[in-house]
Chains A and B, each alone.
Chain A
Amino acid sequence: MSIEQREARQPWILLSPALAAIVMLLIVPLVFIVVYSFWLKSAAGADTPGFFLDNWQEALTDPFYRDILLNTLKIAAITTLVCALLGYPAAFFIARSQGNKVGLLVLLMLPFWISYIIRTMSWINILGVSGALNSAMIWLGIINEPIQMLYNETTVILGLVHFLLPFMVLNIFVSLDGIDTNLEDAASSLGATRWQGFLQVTLPLSLPGLAAGGLLCFVLSAGTYITPVILGGPRDAMFANLVYEAIIRQLNWPLGSALSLLLLAVLGVLVIIYNRYLGMAQLAKGLG
């Protein structure tokens, strides 16, 4: 074998373990559940292989699944919006502050390192019947009896925002930090007010970061399983809870496969639209 041939083979040797892992443990399994979603659950014993449309019919037409899917998308959309509204000014402050930018950013990213389940359950300490807020209000004489503030859709969104806000801030920051501040100066020297300069120069240039943060927030909240279980009530199930229910509790794997793929398809459309207009590079910037 010539040296050139060996050179050409080297990167593939380096890549093969990682590629093999992704293909064998993600791509093939995904293809496998596509096939599995057309099988039929048997009352006893192994599921029946074949090409049955029953699971897909159930997943797509049962109003129960449809309502929860729509509700999941609604919760994800509100979460993303709230993250953007909270995150943008904070990211702007960090990017434009004269002080220690990196320090401020790292501080805000710290909760990201702290266990997701701990952060989620921490809201029970705040909003629970014997939590900080109720205790404070009773102590101040505002209320006599503790009120139940937990276990509804609002607290689910609250928990999700608390979990996802660092992703949003980081992505917007990366975008804002890359903007040449001379552009804003140029706008103001040409007579724009600071507000106009922001609206017409800074905001449009930071949209890629906002979009990347938004995509991450939306996809991660739409796929969430834990938050609605801990902070939601019995009627606040999200789509991932249905999947868990079908796979782990009912052991209806063909139906669970169809439901998983439905969720993947809905979110996949978003990722594809995003990729079409902004590309994956922006996302990698905010993650790395």
Chain B
Amino acid sequence: MGWRLIRFYTILVYLFMFLPIAVVVLLSFNANQFGSFPMTGLSTRWFEALWNNEAIMRAFRTSIVLGLMTAAISTVLGVLASLALVRYQIPGRNMITTLLIAPILVPEVVLAVALLLFLNFLDIGKSFTLLLAGHVIFTLPFVILVVQARLISIRRDVEEAALSLGASPMQTFLKITLPQLMPAVAAGGLFAFTISFDDITGTLFWKPGGVETVPTQIFSMLRNSISPEINALGTVIIVLTVGLPLIGAALARRLATKSGG
């Protein structure tokens, strides 16, 4: 197979990945009232409609609060667990690692059913608490994988130097380990937020009636038909989900070069 052929094939794969997304963005600026082709002109009316749609704005607020809380809890749990796994010799480490990433291996729908039924048994019905618990479990393995990978590359001897100079383990962690770990903590938190913000399968099982997150709101709007408003919402999400990690990565790089100086 010639190199040029492979390159051509790869370009087609990229087009396959990006064309549908580009069409969403294009159609969201469509002046046509059905939000479909042909394009009759450019307009921002669908974004205005979005802004004035109380249900969507409420879903946005729910998703953001849920995402932030999920990210906070998952990141704290994930960083602590990663420290233990990387910095200490513990028996049964492989088994513990497998256990900690198990939520990735269990199909989400099974995880959703198990958690729903068990917490219901404990008299915790469909609620924000259930939603939060589910999202934490679902995002925790990703945080652990990201933080662990970073932690392995942080040299141990700097920490040991601090300890031998009389710093307490807590001081060493706060002054030496944590600053170097910050990019991974930020990446893990962002990862958790994005996964939580994007989650739909588990959320559909766990959410109480009347509460919608952004994906479930889109899902219920899709039941009727695809409206230009959904494309506009898609564009907003695309800008947020692509823009946020890029800003995050840029920030992380600046932090890294500063502290690495």
Residues of A within 8 A of B (CB): 10-12, 14-15, 17-19, 21-23, 25-30, 32-33, 36, 86-87, 89-90, 92-94, 107-108, 110-111, 113-119, 121-126, 128, 130-132, 134-135, 139, 162, 165-166, 169, 195, 219-220, 222-226, 229-230, 240, 243-244, 247-248, 253, 256-257, 260-261, 263-264, 267, 271, 280, 284, 287-288
Known A128-B36, A132-B23, A135-B38; judge A19-B234 contact (CB<8 A): no
Note all chain A residues with C-beta closer than 8 A to B250. none
Judged by DSSP, the binding face of B is: helix
Query: Are A115 and B237 in contact, with the CB atoms below 8 A?
Result: yes
Choose from A26, A123, A240 the contact partner of B115 (Cβ within 8 Å): A26
Note all chain A residues with C-beta closer than 8 A to B6. 89, 92-93
Choose from B87, B94, B105 the contact partner of A219 (Cβ within 8 Å): B105
Query: Are A19 and B10 in contact, with the CB atoms below 8 A?
Result: no
Query: Are A115 and B226 in contact, with the CB atoms below 8 A?
Result: no
A-B contact pairs, 9 of them (CB 8 A): A19-B100, A22-B137, A26-B114, A110-B242, A113-B194, A118-B218, A165-B16, A247-B117, A287-B145
Query: Are A263 and B110 in contact, with the CB atoms below 8 A?
Result: yes
Query: Are B102 and A111 in contact, with the CB atoms below 8 A?
Result: no
Note all chain A residues with C-beta closer than 8 A to B36. 125, 128, 130-131, 135
Judged by DSSP, the binding face of A is: helix
Question: Is B41's beta carbon under 8 Å from chain A?
Answer: no
Choose from A93, A124, A256 the contact partner of B226 (Cβ within 8 Å): A124
* Min C-beta distance of B141 to chain A, whole Å: 8
Query: Are A222 and B107 in contact, with the CB atoms below 8 A?
Result: yes
Query: Are B109 and A226 in contact, with the CB atoms below 8 A?
Result: no
Query: Are B204 and A29 in contact, with the CB atoms below 8 A?
Result: no
Note all chain A residues with C-beta closer than 8 A to B149. 288
Choose from A86, A92, A115, A223 the contact partner of B107 (Cβ within 8 Å): A223
